[in-house]
Structure 1
Amino acid sequence: MPDYLLYALLAGLFTWGLTAVGAASVFFARAPSRKLLDLMLGFAAGVMLAASVFSLLLPGMEMAKAQGQVPWVPAVVGFLLGGGLLRLMDRLLPHLHLDFPQETAEGLPTTWRRTTLLILAITLHNLPEGLAVGVAFGAWALDPTGAATLGGAVALAIGIGLQNLPEGLAVAFPLRREGVSAGLAFFYGQLSALVEPLGALLGAALVAQVAPLLPYFMAFAAGAMVFVVVEELIPESQLEGYGDLATFGLMLGFSVMMALDVALG
């Protein structure tokens, strides 16, 4: 296995592992307050926004410029395609956002249980994160311009891992409230992020096949993540009237990810 594929897999396993750690809190702690949950959701949104900009879009535009392309063209095209694909998946895959009533389930009509729909929503959320990690490591290994760095890819994995830690908690406890046992809540909480190492491998492998399209792939991953932030994380963080706290969490998450990327990248 090439080094960049191995690194992408290890990074995906790292982000999944932190989700599992967060989900394991269901065994030891009481359910977090809604204030804390909204702060966590805001933090996750901020990390993903900063990662999209500093780890994917900006290096992708530098790469496109070094290749003699118009820098903003791959960024715009890839970004819109990434968001468009997530919108298509969002429209077709049956799922239910956390703390939303059953009748607000999205996707094709189904008789699936509420618990299944909740898990599918988080899985849909985690897939672009795994793809982004894989694309970042693939870009580091295959970009001849040097715009993508190993430090930037590591920073992206760390940032996504940090926001996955509270995310595992935010998945497991709502499932527990739905009547699921602690063991199953943990299992489903970590299972929702199992797509991340798979997505990381897929992203790195795709990049290897079409290296000249790296700027498009990086923007594509950014667009998919931003779609998740705007479609899911921000609305969910504003449900219970703690919008100011959620906004502070977003700014904190953005700052942490920005600092990581600048320090390591």
Structure 2
Amino acid sequence: MQALLATLFTWGVTAAGAALVFVTNALNQRLMDSMLGFAAGVMIAASFWSLLAPGIAMAEQLGHLPWLTAVIGFMGGGIFMRLADRLLPHLHPFLSMDKSEGIPTTWQRSTLLVLAITLHNIPEGLAVGVAFGAVAADLPSATLGGAFALAIGIGIQNFPEGTAVAMPLRREGMSKRKSFLFGQASGVVEPIAGVLGALFVLKMQYILPYALCFAAGAMIFVVVEELIPESQRKHENIDLVTMATMSGFSIMMMLDVALG
């Protein structure tokens, strides 16, 4: 239930980002790039403090080889996202249709845009669910404050992701209502992944350290493969985006250290 409520919150923040279409038809590119950079910083910090570090500590408590558990889980998450990225049809915001990725399809641009952000949200929802599952498993290295910090951090960085879907659709002439609906739809997967992640680790506690490291690897893949390149497409914004990324990292680090 905690995992469900936390991921409903993160979905709600995605919807709040998409709701900007009711206020404006376009955002300043520097602001949009900064928001994406900020999101990248949050995810990098969350991957270590909320996922990798607790996963390594839990591996020690359960008698695993901590370094091997971390490598297997982390690389497993990255490989999973690479396969999903290769197979699932999707289109990153601000790109033309000929730049779509995944299996060739005749799906509409709006559907492909939603799927691109949905791909981001799978590991995020999974990470929150696994974090709350670790608390329920009553392992010393998992804290409720840390799980809440992760949910808050994921929620903060979901705001620009909702905007990144809704705003391009609005600029292309789609109605405000439809642009909003498509933008928030990308977050629907988070409560599903969150609840499944929590249930999974509660039923199979032995794999919990692997699951935490897996979620970290999946999130780092998204950051390096998509968020950072998208935020730095305009070379004149690189310094600004870099500082925004460091700000996101600092805020997530502060949340996790203070609450966890």
Normalising TM by the smaller chain, what interval?
Answer: over 0.9
What is the aligned length?
259
Could you tell me which runs of 5 or more consecutive residues in structure 2 were left unpaired when the two chains were aligned: none
Which residue of the partner structure matches residue 87 of structure 1? 82
Pairs within 5 Å for 1:43-62: 43-62=38-57
Identity among equivalent positions (%) equals 63
Q: Does 1:160 align with 2:165?
A: no
Deviating above 3 A after TM superposition, structure 1's stretches of 4 or more consecutive aligned residues are: none
Given the two structures, how large is their TM-score scaled by the length of structure 1? Answer: 0.95
Instruction: Specify which of 171, 174, 177 is matched with residue 171 of structure 2.
Output: 177
Shift of 1:30: 4.3
Pairs within 5 Å for 1:52-201: 52-144=47-139, 146-201=140-195
Shift of 1:89: 0.6
Which residue of the partner structure matches residue 256 of structure 2? 261
Which residue of the partner structure matches residue 241 of structure 2? 246
| AA matched with 1:77 | I
Q: Is the 8 A contact 2:3 2:129 kept in 1?
A: yes
Cα distance per residue 1:9-47 (max 9 Å; x no partner)? 000000001111111111023421000000000000010
Distance in 1 between residues matched to 2:112 and 2:8, nearest whole Å: 24
Q: Is the 8 A contact 1:143 1:211 kept in 2?
A: no
Which residue of the partner structure matches residue 237 of structure 1? 231
| AA matched with 2:84 | M
Given the two structures, how large is their TM-score scaled by the length of structure 2? Answer: 0.97
Distance in 1 between residues matched to 2:191 and 2:124, nearest whole Å: 10
Shift of 1:149: 0.7
Shift of 1:167: 2.2
Q: Does 1:205 align with 2:196?
A: no
Shift of 1:178: 2.3
Distance in 2 between residues matched to 1:22 and 1:107, nearest whole Å: 26
Shift of 1:84: 0.5
Q: Is the 8 A contact 2:26 2:167 kept in 1?
A: yes
Shift of 1:127: 1.0
Which residue of the partner structure matches residue 3 of structure 1? none
Could you tell me which runs of 5 or more consecutive residues in structure 1 were left unpaired when the two chains were aligned: 1-5
| AA matched with 1:17 | G
Cα distance per residue 1:215-234 (max 9 Å; x no partner)? 10000001111111111101
